[in-house]
Structure formats: structure tokens, C-alpha cells
Structure 1
Amino acid sequence: MNKLNIAYSPCPNDTFIFHAWTKGMIPGAPELNVSFADIDITNNWAADGGGPEVMKISYAALPWALQEYRLIPCGGALGRGCGPLVLTADEATDPSQLTGKRVAVPSERSTAYLLFRLWAADNVPGGVGNIEVMPFEQIMPAVRDGKIDAGLVIHEARFTYQEYDLHLMKDLGNWWEEDTGLPIPLGAIVAHRSLDADQVTKWVKDSLAYAWEDPRASESFVMEHAQEMSYDVAQSHIQLYVNEFSMDLGEEGYRAIRELLGRAANEGVIPPIDLNELK
């Protein structure tokens, strides 16, 4: 096989998982041509076609991707205590205060935005006003500076939002877990249907196994792409988002994905899909 094209984010969980494969440390795995891409970019690639053979996308983008890609049962982000946060510059705790307001989100096809829409439908009477898509690293400064009224944040923002003098209105991961008892599906790895999915699964699992066996091997690679976050924040990010579901979704993981996409389809937020296609 020639070089395999892959796109994943520069976030610590992705660089930690894919470091060994990216650096040619996995016997038998093809050389990778890596694009570091924000989730909004890969979600659009998944929907519009023309993306690389392997990608990290949002689970919320799966309905648009499944015609050309299949879900790989490892390498993604799914867990507990790791959901997106709704932040404001004041100490507002009443969701009704978002009615008619401007809210920034990291992607219109992100799991974060999907969760926000499901939550807001029951908690924001009349709905929010304008939704503005921004790269996730720009959202907290925009909320702080009053350019928008609230922001939906993901990733390391969970550990750093207090540095921007922002306040938590709602932890949507906690809301989801309390409502369903299930972990929250965030990011998925998909592979083009022309590839051997079992083989891709093996290479991803081998790369993660290497990372867990020698965590220090990936440190310089992780920090090189960590977008100026501190070492401690990067490590906290990895510990939160890389877990047993990263190695294998298992039945609980698939159940969480079916619940999320099934609810969203019932609400008309995403197009309906055959949930049996996920496996």
C-alpha cells in the first residue's frame, strides 16, 4: 500500500493515540500522510466527500459520512465526565437567559452542537438567536470580550475556562449522563469503505497500545502540536479523553452512539440512519 492519507486534530488525545503509527513504529502499517485538521473541517469533508481515507470526525457527523466511510471501533473519544460546556462571561445559571442570544459553537455538525440543540430544545424557551461557528480555540476569548453571549466549548477548555474569567452555565456531558446513564460519544474514527476496516482497526489499536506501553515516547510530538497549552493541561486532556473506549467501543459504547443518533434523528436534528450500519 502507498501512503495512507489521514486527518486528525492536533489535540493531545489524537496525537497521543496516533503518534506511533505516524512515526512508523507499527510493524506492517502503511506510512501516513497526516493532515492536522480542526473537527469542523473533517466533518465537512465527511459530508461533502473528497476527504482522506481515515479521519477523526464528530459522531454527530456520521449520518453524512456513512455512505463513503465506516465507523472504526477504536481510536476515538467517548467517555464520562468529558462532555462539552456552555460558558458565559457572567454567572448566569438559568438557560432561559440564552433566549435570542448569540452562541458560538465549534462546528454545526459537531457532537457538542448536537447535544446543545437537544438540551436547548427543552431548556431555552423560544430558542437561541444566532449560532456562530468558530474554531474552538477562539470561542473563549470571544465570550470574554463580549463578541458573543455564550460559547459551547470542548477539549482542554474544561481545564482552562477559569483563566478567561468565564463561568459554567451547563455541563452537557453531565446532563447527558444523568438523563441516559450512558457515556457521551464525542469523536469517531472513520475509514473509507475501500479499505479493510479490520486492518485499519488493528493499526489504530497497535498505535494506542504502544502509547500506553511507553507514554513518554509521544510527549514531544504531543507538545509540538498542543497549541501552546501547558504540559499539565495536555496530560489531563489525555487522561480524560483516552480511555477503554479508545481501545474498543464495546457494547456500551455502541449503545451510547445509537442513543445519541436515535434521539437526534427523532428530533429532526440529523437525517435518520439505519443504526445497524454502525457495526
Structure 2
Amino acid sequence: MFDLGYSFCPNDTFIFYALTHGRIATPEPIREVLEDVETLNQWALQQKLQITKISYRAYAEVREQYIALRSGGALGRGVGPLIVTRAPLAHLNGKTIASPGALTTAESLLKLYAPEAHIIRMRYDQIMPAVEKGDIDAGLIIHESRFTYPDHGLQKHLDLGAWWEEQTGLPLPLGAILVRRDLPTQLQSELNAAVRSSLEYAYSHPEEPKAYIRQHALEMSDQVMQAHIDLYVNPFSLDVGPEGERAVQELFSRLEKAGVIRPSSLPLFVD
């Protein structure tokens, strides 16, 4: 039995529904373990799960132990984290900004964009209320918050994904699905194929996973839930492809130059 860790977010529950509900063949029995991404990031440091969703920033910390599947991840354009405020800010230098986690790709982008900002950390769903109350100057928001921040009276200061795309011309790598490097390479490839098959099943049977997705997205409207899936599940989720690989390499290269992560020569993706 392999434990597969992924988040409560609609993109993950959409992708992994078939894999964890016996709708497709898998090389090993798969058991779901649902947690927020920052918890999964921390668990990966402990090598707790055989297969896990993780932020690309966190992947840089566990490259010796894990390798990324080509399928199931979150990359794309127009998918980046947002910096939101109550009132306009001229700049972020010295401002207190709440981040959803030290090992999130969102925080790594913030450090590249505004290295002088003062970063504190909160669970992602607590950030917008804190900005709304004026407890902090700005918030770095991810997931469904991208669609709901105006409901909190907040405004967009910057789209860090758009900033990344302008800087690099590449899609933004957000999250990857990792497997243990010590698993046989054939099994790694079979797990990658199973994840792809799970997503293909969801595309072919879009109504079937909805009850499962809704079970873990109780506070979202149907419109936000579907918008979340439409944004974060895209062709890069089926296969990262050459452009996606270049994007990950570029992100890691910039973080290495900034002294945020250590370099590694290990391959990033399964064959």
C-alpha cells in the first residue's frame, strides 16, 4: 500500500479521484492522504510518504530523496500567487507581508521580487482576513483566494505569476508530484502513467468526481470550484513537457543564484 499525499484543493481532488477510488489500474494499491500543501512540504523533508504533492520550492530541498513525475503537477500561465493589500502601496520594502509557508513557491517568488520585504508566515486561509483587519501590510495569496480576495475588500498589488512570465517568458512552476528515488525506475514510470490515466479519466467523466471535490471544498461556490480546476489543471498537468522542464530549471537556477537553495545535478523528472 502506497500513501499518496495531496491537498484539499479542487485541482488535486479532480486529478486524483480515479486513482484513489479504484477507477483505474495502479501498480500498487494507493491510499489517499489529504493535507494542506505546507504540511506535505514538511512531511517530504521527513520522507513520510512514497508519493506526494509538493511545492516546487520544497522539491529543491528533497531532490536527493525524491524525483518528480511528469504528470499531475501544477504549472501554467496566469496561475501565480498574488500580493494583495487594503490600500495602495508605493513599494514593499520594509513592509510586513504574510506568506503561506517558507517552502512555498509563492514565498520564493516574493523573495526574488522584493528581497527587502519583512515576511511572516500564516496558514493560507488566514492571510486575507489578517490583511482585511489591517494586522499586516500585505498578503501573499494562493489557491482559491485568487478568485475571492475582492470579497474581503482587498486589491491586487502585484501578480507574481505575471511578473515571472514577463521576466522569463516561461510558465510558472507551482506544484509537483514526487515519488521516492529509491523506488525502481520501472515502478516510477508506472506510477507516472497511473497519475496521467487518473487525470484522463477525470476529463472523460467530469461529473463523476464532483461529489468528492465538493466534499473537500465546502466553503467554495460551484463557480469558484470549477474556476479553480479550469485554471490549475491544464496540458502541463498531463505532461510537464520540454517547456515545463525549462521553467523548473529556470526557477531553480534563479533561486540558486539568490542563495535560497543548494544546487543539484540530479535529474528532475522520471523518464
TM-score strictly above 0.5? yes
Counterpart in the other structure of 1:269: 260
Alignment of 1:174 with 2:162, yes or no, is yes
List aligned pairs for 1:1-279, cutoff 5 A. Answer: 3-47=1-45, 49-92=46-89, 94=90, 96=91, 98-121=92-115, 127-129=116-118, 131-195=119-183, 196-274=187-265, 277-279=267-269
Summarize deviations over 1:47-82 as a string: whole Å, max 9, x none: 2x2321110000011121111111111101000001
Summarize deviations over 1:134-189 as a string: whole Å, max 9, x none: 11111111110112211100111111100000010000000011111100000010
What SS is found at the alignment partner of 1:190? Answer: strand
* 1:9 Cα deviation after fit: 0.3
Distance 1:16 1:268 in 2: 36
Summarize deviations over 1:117-143 as a string: whole Å, max 9, x none: 10113xxxxx122x2221111111111
Summarize deviations over 1:247-269 as a string: whole Å, max 9, x none: 00010000000000101101101
Do the aligned residues in 1 keep the contact of 2:26 with 2:191 (CA within 8 Å)?
no
- The normalised TM-score by structure 2 is 0.95
Gaps of 5+ in 1: 122-126
Structure 1 consecutive aligned stretches of length 4 or more whose deviation exceeds 4 Å: none
Distance 1:39 1:151 in 2: 18
Amino acid corresponding to residue 277 of structure 1 in structure 2: P
Distance 1:163 1:186 in 2: 25
What SS is found at the alignment partner of 1:170? Answer: strand
Q: Percent identity?
A: 45
- The normalised TM-score by structure 1 is 0.92
Distance 2:88 2:37 in 1: 29
* 1:273 Cα deviation after fit: 1.9
Summarize deviations over 1:200-256 as a string: whole Å, max 9, x none: 101100100000011111000001101411111010000000000000001000000
Distance 2:246 2:163 in 1: 17
What SS is found at the alignment partner of 1:6? Answer: strand
What SS is found at the alignment partner of 2:114? Answer: helix
Do the aligned residues in 1 keep the contact of 2:2 with 2:31 (CA within 8 Å)?
yes
Distance 2:8 2:75 in 1: 17
Amino acid corresponding to residue 224 of structure 2 in structure 1: V
What SS is found at the alignment partner of 2:61? Answer: helix
After superposing the two structures, state which structure 1 stretch, 83-92 or 203-212, moved more. 83-92
Do the aligned residues in 1 keep the contact of 2:87 with 2:154 (CA within 8 Å)?
yes
Distance 1:187 1:23 in 2: 22
Distance 1:258 1:28 in 2: 30
What SS is found at the alignment partner of 1:25? Answer: coil
After superposing the two structures, state which structure 1 stretch, 140-149 or 211-220, moved more. 140-149
Distance 2:238 2:71 in 1: 5
Distance 2:249 2:67 in 1: 15
* 1:35 Cα deviation after fit: 1.5
Counterpart in the other structure of 1:124: none
Gaps of 5+ in 2: none
Amino acid corresponding to residue 4 of structure 2 in structure 1: I
Amino acid corresponding to residue 267 of structure 2 in structure 1: E
The structure with the largest helix share of the pair is 1
How many pairs are equivalent? Answer: 266
What SS is found at the alignment partner of 1:217? Answer: coil
